């Protein structure tokens, strides 16, 4: 469910193969072939039949962070992935209009999610004096 989908029509999401060792598309297709006899529902569910929700994802994320010794685990939620994806896309020089599309943002609000690395900020003075 999304706040930009108040009538709960759903959203088709295109995921292309990355060509990397992470084979998300292949794994998802294999999963869908295994579950093809079952009625369509949410894409991800646990063995007990419960669906993966934002709340469950946040809970699992915080558990894993706690196990790894990460402090302040409550600062991380499922929403952290939106910020991380926008930041990663920006660092990969993905155009703003495409970042907006990928995150299904209707406004320019996605820009507040992009975190500029300190190393980038530290290079700015050198760029300015060489102009």
Instruction: Give me the sign of the Cα torsion angle 72, 74, 109, 83.
Output: positive
Whether the Cβ atoms of residue 90 and residue 114 lie closer than 8 Å to each other: yes
Mean pLDDT of 81-106: 90
Counted residue by residue, the chain has a size of 131
DSSP, collapsed to helix, strand or coil, labels residue 6 as coil
Place of tokens 């998300």: 24
Q: What percent of the chain has pLDDT over 70?
A: 89
Q: Find the mean pLDDT for residues 78-87.
A: 90
Q: Is the pLDDT of residue 53 over 80?
A: yes
pLDDT for the residue numbered 28: 77
Q: What is the pLDDT of residue 60?
A: 93
Evaluate if residue 77 carries a pLDDT over 80: yes
Dihedrals φ, ψ of 45, to 5°?
Answer: -145, 160
Which of these ranges, 41-55, 66-80, 87-101, has the smallest mean pLDDT? 41-55
């Amino acid at each position: 469910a999304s706040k930009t989908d108040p009538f709960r029509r759903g959203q088709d999401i295109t995921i292309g193969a990355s060509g990397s060792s992470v084979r998300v598309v292949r794994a998802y297709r294999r999963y869908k072939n295994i579950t093809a006899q079952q009625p369509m529902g949410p894409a991800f569910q646990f063995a007990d039949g419960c669906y993966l929700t934002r709340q469950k994802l946040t809970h699992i994320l915080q558990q894993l962070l706690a196990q790894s010794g990460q402090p302040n685990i409550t600062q991380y939620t499922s929403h952290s992935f939106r910020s991380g994806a926008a930041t990663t896309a920006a660092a990969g020089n993905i155009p703003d209009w495409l970042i907006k599309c990928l995150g299904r943002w209707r406004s320019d609000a996605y820009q507040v999610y992009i975190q500029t690395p300190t190393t980038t900020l530290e290079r700015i003075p050198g760029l300015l004096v060489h102009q």
